[in-house]
Structure 1
C-alpha cells in the first residue's frame, strides 16, 4: 500500500487509504497522534486520546452539524463565568 508525499500550499501531505481508515473507524476530521520511530524508520498514525473512535458515524455527523450551526452561541457560553 504505497503512497506518495506531495505539496499542498505550505504543507506536505500523505493521503490515507479509505479501507485502512474504515478498519480503524477513522474519518475526515478524526484527530490523530503521530509518532516517529527513528530506529525502525517508521511513522505511526493513531487516533488521538479522546477521539471519536467507535462512535456511530451518523451520530458524529449530527454533532458536527450542530456545532457548526450553533458555533457562535457555544463559544459565547464557553466564555461565560
Structure 2
C-alpha cells in the first residue's frame, strides 16, 4: 500500500502576523472545485484573516505540492 504522509491534509492553518492564514487544497473537476488531500489538489485557496477574523486577502493558486501519481504508481510496481 502506498502511503503519502500528507495525503489526508485537506487544509492547513498558520499564525500570520496577528491573524491566521488558511490554505485549502482543491481539485478542479470540470467547472467544480472539490476539497481533496494536499498531494492530490490541482489548486489551492489561500485566505488571510486579521485578528478579528475578517478576511483581508484571498488568492487562488496552482498547488506546488501536487504529486504526479503516474510516477508514484510506476515506482510502486518496480
> Structure 2 length normalisation: TM-score?
0.24
* Max Rg structure: 1
Give the structure with the larger helix fraction: 1
Give the structure with the larger strand fraction: 2
